Structures are given as C-alpha cells and as structure tokens.
Amino acid sequence: MTAFEIVAVAVSAAGIWLTATRRMLCWPVNLIACALYFKLFLDVRLYADMVLQALFGLAILYGWLAWSRGKDAAGDVVVAPLRPAQALAGLVAGAVGAVAIGWFTSRYTNAALPWMDAALSSFSLVAQYWTARRHAASWLLWIGVDGLYVGMFLVKGLVPTAGLYAAMIVLAVIGYRQWRRAETIGPAAA
C-alpha cells in the first residue's frame, strides 16, 4: 500500500459515486482516476489493466459527449434500455476480447495474471461502453467484474484497491437501483 494507491482509490471512489448518481462531473474525475491507475498497474505488471485505463480514458471522453447529448429538458441524464441483441453483442465482444488479449499477454509479456487480467479488462470495456450509452444493465456487469477484481487485487497485494473494488460493488448496486428507477418511472420522477 502506497500513498499513491490511496489517492487513486479516493479519486476512483468519487468518480464511481458521481457516475452512480448521474452527475456530469463523473467524467473529469474518472479521467483523473484512469491516469492514476494507469501508472499503478504499470508498476505491478498488470498490463491489460494498464492498457484498459488508456482505453477507459477514450471511453470517458466518448461518455462525456454521449451524456451531454442524452439529457432531458430538466437537464437530467436519461437512462436508455439495453435491448437483448445489444446485450448479446456486448457479451460476445467481451469474450472475444478476453481470448485475444489473454493470448497476446500470455505469450508476449511477463503479465502476472494474463488470462484473468485480460477477461476482466475486456468485460470492463463492455461495461464502460454500456455506461457511456446510459444503460442500467452496465451496473450488473460492473458488479460481476468488480467481484472478480477484488480477488485478483488481493492476490497482487493491492489491498486498498481490492477494498475500492469491494466498495465499487456497493456503488454499482446503488447505481443500478437508481438507474432502473429512472428508466422505469422516467427522469422527472427520479
């Protein structure tokens, strides 16, 4: 545990809370969190997660733009339903990405946990895309991914980060409930 990791944890927790409550400030805060975790994952040789942070940075810019355009008349971010075909396509893309990234990192790097790191990174990209598209189902995928991340970070000795991901599961449950409520009864009543 380092002071750097503790700062990364705090910034990430703030970003997830802002995302769960559908606040536009989530995007710049999450961008800072990505930069911090890029450096941290480089230091502990979780290369797929390091690259994931760079990709998250791009996804954050996309999400920032998408959320800016996805507001109702009151200025609230509108939650959009995820159709079954979209969900299936996302999950298939996550699986294909996991195999491709896992194969590459297991053969060409000294990654610590190449297959697990690859799978979690790939499905995190799917969850991030769904979040940017304002789908409540993104939170369900985050719950599963974050649960597995807790174990991986404990194995790597990143105890504060494992704690962050455990807290992110709680935040994802809150986010899912709030987003489902907004999706079901509409933004004016949420």
- pLDDT at res. 186: 57
Note down the domain range covering 117: 3-185
- Give domain status of residue 79, yes or no: yes
Does residue 185 register a pLDDT over 70? no
Q: How far apart are the first and last CA of the chain?
A: 39
d(CA 156, CA 52): 17
Predicted TM-score of the model (pTM): 0.84
Residue 69 belongs to a domain: yes
Q: Is the pLDDT of residue 188 over 70?
A: no
Could you tell me if residue 119 is inside a domain? yes
Question: What tens digit of pLDDT does each residue of 101-127 get?
Answer: 999 999 998 888 999 989 998 999 999
Number of domains, the chain: 1
Classify residue 33: in a domain, yes or no: yes
Per-residue pLDDT tens for 25-44?
A: 999 999 999 999 999 989 98
Angle formed at CA 83 by CA 29 and CA 179, multiple of 5 degrees: 40
For 124-183, what is each residue's pLDDT tens digit? 999 999 999 999 999 999 999 999 999 999 998 889 889 989 999 999 999 999 999 987
Look at residue 190 and tell me if it is in a domain.
no
